[in-house]
Amino acid sequence: MANLILETRGLTKSFGAVTAAADVNIKINEKEIIGVIGSNGAGKTTFINMVTGYLKPSTGTILFRGRDITGFSPMQVTKAGICRSFQVAQLFPELTTLENMLVAHSMLSKKRLSIQRPLKSKANVNAAMEALTGYGIESYGDGPVTTLPQGVRKLLDIAMAMVGSPALLLLDEPTSGVAIEEKFALMDTVMGAVNRSGATNLFVEHDMEIVSRYATRVIAFYDGRVIADGPTAEALANPEVKEFIVGSELHRQQSEGGEHAGN
Amino acid sequence: MHIADKTPRNLCIALCVLLAFGTIMPNWFAFLATVSMAKGMVVIGLIVLMRTGLVSFGQGLYYCLGGYTVGIAGKYLGITDAVGILFVSAFVAGCVGALLGLLLCRYREIFFAMLTMALSMILFGMLVKSDMLGSTDGFNVAHPTLLGWNPGPEGLSIMIYSLACLIAFLIVFFVHRYFQSGMGFAGESIRENEIRVEYLGISPRRVIFYKYVLAAILAAIGGSLTALVAGHVDPEMAYWTTSGEFVFVALLGGTGHVVAAFIGAFLYELIRTLAFDLTPYTWQMILGITLLMVILFLPKGLWSLLTAYKTGRG
């Protein structure tokens, strides 16, 4: 029996009359790579937001390695060992790529922030450059983040989340906003880094091709509920998943592809 | 790739020049320079906050607190040693700053600005009502001594000037390194993206709390030096226009470097003195136009001129 790393029990979140997540019960084992699918507004991001402390669940419990982390702040969740990336990359726009990495490095190092030792010491810069190299974005080091291409921003966002070697990594749509032809290269880089670190990984994704290539298990959300949870092929073959998610995603991709062709 | 930081070396040279210059400068100039340095210290505290994305319109609170601590320590406690008094001021401001910081670290933007201003106006109101401390007139500060040496009225301004130079040097040295440190960058990170900072496991509130206390201590040291050199304190030090002056100076000098605060403060004092001389009734207009020009043409302050010159040459 594999080790349980995250468990949610009866997780529910409602905003007034709208229920964004209803009775979500999920068990995640160590080293799993889970793809989360679902149409927009199905509750995928709400789930990540609740686990990482951005939203407080209305009811239910979140257990991380058996410890109750319900109601933890993002800061406490991070310290516990869960890191996340964002659908829209959350960076420090006026700092350079290297400075972004240096800041992440100093903050996640678990040591007190120094008040006199320079952040850009040789050792720190080397460590940060090494981290950037792991994602193939070291050549962007000196440029301000505002000038970065979308794909590099997403990679930097994920690289910064990975600095603290989290036990569990939650990626919210790592490939959104990235050109179709770059998606696989980006996922290869990310998955390579995740595998090296040995972190358990959960990612939200709309592209079924990416889900079937990288995920070992799929959790499907529809209308705030989990409608399927199982090995990738099995979950994707589920009739409800086919009807509510895969079908609509196919349409979505066709229209996206159409736009690309049009361009 | 690695560029050596020349600031420490330049600072040592500047200190020696300023100290040497002090032996020949007239008293009125020593006074002007001391007040500029004192205000520059308050502005450095403000810059620490501004880099974090917070503008305090109430640094007058600690400026005044520092000044009154000097006055009260001399008048009622018999402490006249300048260095000892500065430590007492810094300590008092640190305690008050820590107390108010607990409240203020929860607020951002305009709410932070207004709350800091309101708090300084509370002190102003309290001082105006307290007859024992001279109400609106304030009171005179006892002549300070320095480590047992009493310079007398003649040598006083030069003694305070030298002390101010030395303290300014230490503060600039400390804060310059602070800006390069992990804690310094944490401020800019909070300004840029507070959510990300939380997800890097750092509490923005705690960082802001420490920065607020640091700014309070720096403002109190500035206020103490002003009180020592002027020999007088009054509630005007806590009035909102005084706090506004510090914001003015910060915008004038820019937040790019610690030294910018002193350049800004000195120019401000100079412009104000000259404007008052030229047009005694409309001098505020000259200051207003200056600020307008700076905001329109040098939004990053005078320091950006130097940065532009450096990058142009490099």
Residue B278 lies in a domain: no
- The span from the CA of B254 to the CA of B304, in Å, is 7
Residue B282 lies in a domain: no
Q: Is pLDDT of B10 > 50?
A: yes
Residue range B62-90, pLDDT digits in tens? 999 999 999 998 888 888 888 889 999 99
- The span from the CA of B223 to the CA of B215, in Å, is 12
Rounded mean pLDDT, B22-50: 88
pLDDT recorded at residue A235: 75
Q: Which residues in chain A touch residue B2, judged by CB atoms under 8 angstroms apart?
A: 122
Name the token pair of A6: 């995250």
pLDDT band at A178 (very low <50, low <70, confident <90, very high): confident
- Among A88, A100, A113, most B C-beta atoms within 10 A, so best to mutate, is A113
Q: Is pLDDT of B96 > 90?
A: yes
- The span from the CA of A49 to the CA of A61, in Å, is 14
User: Which of A126, A111, A125, A161 is CA-nearest to residue B180?
Assistant: A125
Residue B249 lies in a domain: no
Q: Is pLDDT of B20 > 90?
A: no
pLDDT recorded at residue A261: 39
Percent of chain B topping pLDDT 90: 44
Rounded mean pLDDT, A17-31: 84
pLDDT recorded at residue B87: 92
Nearest to A113 among B174, B182, B195 (CB): B182
Q: Is pLDDT of A254 > 60?
A: no
In sequence order, which ranges of chain A are alpha helices (DSSP H)?
44-51, 74-80, 97-108, 122-133, 150-162, 180-197, 208-214, 232-237, 239-241, 247-262
Q: Is pLDDT of B216 > 50?
A: yes
Q: Which residues in chain B touch residue A116, judged by CB atoms under 8 angstroms apart?
A: 174, 177-178, 181
Residue range B294-314, pLDDT digits in tens? 888 888 888 888 777 777 765
User: Which of A188, A137, A178, A167 is CA-nearest to residue A5?
Assistant: A167
Highest average pLDDT, of A20-24, A113-117, B186-190, B249-253, comes from B186-190
pLDDT recorded at residue A260: 44
Residue B258 lies in a domain: no
Q: Is pLDDT of A251 > 80?
A: no
Q: Which residue has the tokens 């001021």?
A: B89
| Residue that wins the pLDDT comparison between A233 and B104 | B104
**pTM, whole model, 2 decimals?**
0.87
pLDDT recorded at residue A15: 85
Q: Is pLDDT of B1 > 50?
A: no
**Closest chain B CA to residue A119:** B181
Mind telling me how many Å the CA of A113 is from chain B's nearest CA? 5
Residue B311 lies in a domain: no
pLDDT recorded at residue A147: 86
Q: Supply the mean pLDDT for chain A.
A: 83
Side-chain-side CA neighbours of A207 within 13 Å: the count stands at 20
Residue B296 lies in a domain: no
Report the range of poorest mean pLDDT among A5-9, A74-78, A226-230: A226-230
Q: Are B184 and A106 in contact (CB under 8 A)?
A: no
Residue B301 lies in a domain: no
Rounded mean pLDDT, A205-227: 85
**Whole-complex ipTM:** 0.85
Q: Are B143 and B156 in contact (CB under 8 A)?
A: yes
Q: Supply the mean pLDDT for chain B.
A: 87
The neighbouring-strand residues paired with B106 are none
Residue range B146-203, pLDDT digits in tens? 877 777 777 788 888 889 999 999 999 899 999 989 899 999 999 999 999 999 989 9
A223 CB-near residues (< 8 Å, 6+ apart): A22, A42, A43
- Among B185, B195, B217, most A C-beta atoms within 10 A, so best to mutate, is B185
Rounded mean pLDDT, B123-132: 88
Q: Which residues in chain A touch residue B208, judged by CB atoms under 8 angstroms apart?
A: none
Nearest to B198 among A75, A95, A113 (CB): A75
Q: What is the CA radius of gyration of chain A?
A: 19
Phi, psi of A68 (to 5 degrees): -75, 115
Name the token pair of B66: 């520092």
Rounded to 10 degrees, the C-alpha dihedral B147/B149/B155/B159 comes to -10
- Among B2, B192, B195, B200, most A C-beta atoms within 10 A, so best to mutate, is B200
Report the range of poorest mean pLDDT among A77-91, A228-242, B241-255: A228-242
Nearest to B185 among A119, A122, A161 (CB): A119
Task: Test B201 with A118 for CB contact under 8 angstroms.
Answer: no
Q: Is pLDDT of A259 > 50?
A: no
Report residue A235 CA to chain centroid gap.
20
Q: Is pLDDT of A171 > 80?
A: yes
Q: How many helices (H) and strands (E) does chain B have?
A: 13, 2
3-state secondary structure of A14: strand
Question: Counting Cβ atoms within 10 Å, is residue A16 exposed (0-12), middle (13-18) or buried (19+)?
Answer: exposed
Report residue A189 CA to chain centroid gap.
14
SS3 string, A177-212, reads CCCHHHHHHHHHHHHHHHHHHCCEEEEECCCHHHHH
Q: Which residues in chain B touch residue A103, judged by CB atoms under 8 angstroms apart?
A: 182, 185-186, 189, 200
Residue range A114-133, pLDDT digits in tens? 888 888 888 888 888 888 88
Q: Which residues in chain A touch residue B185, judged by CB atoms under 8 angstroms apart?
A: 95, 99, 102-103, 106, 119
pLDDT recorded at residue B29: 82
| Residue B178 structural domain | 7-238
pLDDT band at A257 (very low <50, low <70, confident <90, very high): very low
Task: Test A116 with B174 for CB contact under 8 angstroms.
Answer: yes
Q: Is pLDDT of A258 > 60?
A: no
**Closest chain A CA to residue B180:** A118
pLDDT band at A18 (very low <50, low <70, confident <90, very high): confident
Residue B261 lies in a domain: no
Residue range A130-166, pLDDT digits in tens? 888 888 888 888 888 888 888 888 889 999 988 888 8
User: Which of B264, B286, B291 is CA-nearest to residue B273?
Assistant: B286
Report the range of poorest mean pLDDT among A60-64, A228-232, B230-234, B289-293: A228-232
Mind telling me how many Å the CA of A77 is from chain B's nearest CA? 8
Residues of A with CB under 8 A from a CB of B: 52, 54, 73-75, 78-79, 83-84, 90-95, 99, 102-104, 106-108, 110, 113-120, 122, 160-161, 164
The length of chain A in residues reads 263
Number of separate domains in chain B: 1
Report the range of poorest mean pLDDT among A43-47, B104-108, B111-115: A43-47
Residues of B with CB under 8 A from a CB of A: 2, 174, 177-178, 180-186, 188-189, 192-193, 195-203, 207
Side-chain-side CA neighbours of A121 within 13 Å: the count stands at 12
